[in-house]
Amino acid sequence: MWEHLQIELYKVFKRPRTYLSFAAITALIGVIQLGLLVDGKEYADFVMADFANSFSVDGKILNGYFICYVILQLLLVHVPLLIALIAADMISGEANMGTLRILLTKPQSRTSIVMAKFIASVIYTLLLLIWIAIMGLFLSMLIFGTDDLFLMKSSYVVIVKESDVFWRYAGAFCFAALAMVTVAALGFFLSFFAENSIGPIVATMSVIIVCTILSTMNIPLFNLIKPYLFTTHMITWKEFFDFKVNDANEAIIGSIQYPDKIIRSATVLGVHIVLFVGSAVWLFRKKDILS
Amino acid sequence: MLLYKSMQQIVKVSQLTKQFNSLTAVNQLSFSVESGDVYGFLGQNGAGKSTTIRMLLTLITPTSGDISIFGYDLNKHRKEILQQIGAVIEKPDVYKYLSAYENLKLFAKLSGVKPSNKMLMDQLEMVGLASRAHDTVKTFSQGMKQRLGIGIALVHNPQLIILDEPTNGLDPQGIADIRNLILILSREMKKTVIVSSHLLNEIEQIATRILIIDKGQKLVEGSSAELFNDQQTILQISVANNNKVIQTIQSSTWANNLLPERDGQIMVGLNKEDIPNFNRMLAASGVDIYSLQARHSLEDYFLQVTAGKQHVGTFTN
């Protein structure tokens, strides 16, 4: 299994397509950082427009932590496509190339082959998120410096102390990793039903788009299924930036307002991963290889 | 490592059936391959050859029937059996973005071998690709890919080699190279080889035993010598007017010997000693004959069998 995983990783990182995702992430983050570096003050004024008459803010709103939050909000919508490029190609790509049949004539169990491929997709996903963290968080901290994190929620403002921010980002990135692994599992599952890469990649994105729409629309019928849709829970990483307050309405350092929400979302995402991968293994063990 | 229960009988297939919905691709097929055989697997397109080969390689699950290889049940000892099998299935597809060396190394590891540089280069030397070892496969010709596919099939030194249409897309030199390689594998390296091909004359030159199937069923199985009756031949007749000659034959005592026309030429199955009398009969009828050619090849035999299904069974030694 370990050797097979090494082989799968070797194949993934030998393909030029793999590096497209890293290049795309670098370009996207670079553009956002450049824009905020050049015109950041105007952006901050625009963001603060509603609050300008209520209170004034000392310090740097446009600091590295804030930039990273903006990047995460924008990027986590697009990253699923980059993940689908690899995960949804794992089986269908091999079927398309004709290598799947050679692979399956080797003395390896089908379960081991599927699991090695899935774990390789997960490692790719995690590396992509680490790259986002390096570019989005660490590079932004280097360029824009650090200060308290100023966030606007729908009906209130959150100011997270500088000393209390970093671990929240660690938690948010871990949760985002879980959400993206769910996307990888979906793409991986769909890759069993096609013999070309395009179909499963498009299908993965279509499922995410449809489920996101269902998760977002506030219609009673959809509200019934929302708690079971993985897209509803993919944005729960934001909960790491909400904290509890004491009786004096002061932030409790190191607290999270709704930790149960994070646990529930993580559980739903975990169940989806198990279902997608379990189904993939079950299907693959029974599948006749006709390609 | 698998210990062979049966060195004599390498593959034994009993009552093998595969159904895809309402289509029966392989129907109650039974055959056996013995140690050292070059076993030619023949059949028209859609006859069930590839489906059978894929069942031997566990790519397709049989609907019913048994397969034992090296004396062990394929279902129960899949991993151990596959360690001793090398296969090329139709096209020799490999990872095009990797080099020949990388492909070989990768598949050697998957076959349970820890490959050394020398071992891999020797293997590439054997299939004539040592000088292109580090070039990516996307720059290779079809023949080179095919040779690499065979190198991959042999890298773990298997006892049984299964080649499904190994000469597909090759030029005459490539076909001759594959033929020579199969002969080396069989005669010098003492491997057992199962080879399917639509190039029947190629099979004729290398196979020690032959199985012909049609619509998933066995038509005949036996050695080349057993399948061809030396006294039986097919006469290929080239004439000015086919209809007149056919009428002449149909009204003669050889009416039942008439075979379906091929490439616009009249075919007649005859005993060798009847050819002079047949020739005299045609000449006496006054038809213009351009040529009479006695054919005796596997291709003729194959077409005769698959068209008329005249034989069903196994020749005995």
pLDDT in tens, B60-76: 999 999 999 999 999 89
Q: Give CA torsion, residues B118, B120, B126, B129, to 10 deg.
A: -110
Count of structural domains, chain A: 1
| Rounded distance between C-alpha atoms, residue A100 and residue A39, angstroms | 51
pLDDT for the residue B9:
85
Residue B96 contacts A, CB cutoff 8 Å:
yes
pLDDT tens by residue, A225-234:
889 999 999 9
d(CA A167, CA B115) in angstroms, rounded, equals 46
Task: Specify the pLDDT at position B187.
Answer: 87
Pick B82's closest partner by Cβ from A105, A286, A289. Answer: A105
Residue with the two structure tokens 């020797």: B122
Res B306 pLDDT > 70: no
* pLDDT single digits (tens) B117-150: 999 999 999 888 899 999 999 999 888 888 899 8
Averaged pLDDT score across all residues of chain B: 84
A227 belongs to a structural domain = yes
The predicted model gives A77-87 an average pLDDT of 87
Which residue spans within chain B are E strands per DSSP? 9-20, 23-34, 38-43, 64-69, 72-73, 85-89, 160-164, 192-196, 209-214, 217-222, 232-239, 258-262, 265-271, 289-295, 313-314
pLDDT bracket for residue B304 (50, 70, 90): low
Please check the confidence at residue B3 and state whether its pLDDT lies above 70: no
Q: Which helix (H) or strand (E) holds A106?
A: none
Characterize the bridge pairing of strands B217-222 and B258-262. Answer: unpaired
How far is the alpha carbon of B79 from chain A, nearest alpha carbon, in Å?
A: 5
Residue A71 lies in a domain: yes
Do A101 and B61 make contact, defined as CB atoms within 8 angstroms?
no
**Tokens at A38, concatenated:** 């050049």
Strands A149-152 and B23-34: unpaired
Asked if pLDDT for residue A43 goes beyond 60, the answer is: yes
For the stretch B84-110, pLDDT in tens is 999 988 777 889 999 999 999 999 999
Distance from CA of B129 to the nearest CA of A (A): 20
Instruction: In whole angstroms, give the CA distance from residue B111 to residue B115.
Output: 10
Would you place residue B312 in the very low, low, confident or very high pLDDT band (cuts 50, 70, 90)?
very low
B263-267 contacts, C-beta under 8 A, 24 or more apart: B265/B236, B265/B237, B265/B238, B266/B236, B266/B237, B266/B238, B266/B239, B266/B242, B267/B234, B267/B235, B267/B236, B267/B237
Judging contacts by C-beta atoms under 8 Å, the chain A residues touching residue B83 are 107
Asked if B111's CB is within 8 angstroms of A14's CB, the reply is: no
- Check residue B62 and give its pLDDT: 93
Question: Any idea where the domains of chain B sit in the sequence?
Answer: 9-225, 232-295
pLDDT value of residue B309: 54
B198: contact with A, CB 8 A cutoff = no
- When pLDDT is cut at 50, 70 and 90, the band that residue A286 belongs to is confident
Q: Is the CB of B106 inside 8 Å of chain A's CB atoms?
A: yes
B102 to chain A, minimum CA–CA distance in Å?
10
Tell which of A89, A90, A97, A102 to mutate to test the B interface (max B CBs under 10 Å): A102
Query: Are A107 and B89 in contact (CB < 8 Å)?
Result: no
Chain A residues with a Cβ under 8 Å from any Cβ in chain B: 3-4, 7, 10-11, 14-16, 97-99, 101-109, 286, 288-290
**Look-up of token digits 């997709």:** A121
Q: Are B148 and B129 in contact (CB under 8 A)?
A: yes
- Domain range for residue A141? 2-284
Q: Which residue has the higher pLDDT, B146 or B7?
A: B146
CA A84 – CA A78 distance, rounded (Å): 10
> What percentage of chain B exceeds 70 in pLDDT?
89
CATH class of B232-295: alpha beta
For residue B315, name the pLDDT band (cuts at 50, 70, 90).
very low
Round to whole Å and give the CA distance between A159 and A149. 6
- Nearest CA-CA partner of A238 in A63, A73, A48, A68: A73
Q: How far is A17 from chain B (nearest CA, A)?
A: 11
Find, in chain B, the residue whose alpha carbon is nearest to that of A97.
B93
Which residue from B71, B61, B66 is spatially nearest to B29, judged by alpha carbons? Answer: B66
First vs last Cα of chain B: how many Å apart? Answer: 33
Say which of A15, A103, A288 has its CB closest to residue B110: A103
User: pTM of the entire structure?
Assistant: 0.82
Smallest Cβ–Cβ distance between B112 and the set A105, A107, A109 belongs to A107
What pLDDT is stored for residue B311 in this prediction?
40
Residue B313 has pLDDT above 70, yes or no: no
CB contact under 8 A, A289 and B80: no
Q: What is the CA radius of gyration of chain B?
A: 23
Q: Which residues of B touch A104 (CB under 8 A)?
A: 57-59
What tens digit of pLDDT does each residue of A230-279 get?
A: 999 998 998 999 888 887 777 788 888 889 999 999 999 999 999 999 99
CB A151 within 8 A of CB A222: no
Q: What is the mean pLDDT of chain A?
A: 88
> Cβ of B106 and A7 within 8 Å?
yes
Give the closest-approach CA distance of A44 to chain B in angstroms.
47
Pick the CATH number of B9-225 from 3.40.50.300, 3.40.190.10, 3.20.80.10, 3.30.300.30: 3.40.50.300
Provide the sign of the torsion angle of the four alpha carbons A106, A110, A116, A120, taken in this order.
Answer: positive
Q: B313 in the Ramachandran plot: left (φ > 0), alpha (ψ -120 to 50) or beta?
A: left
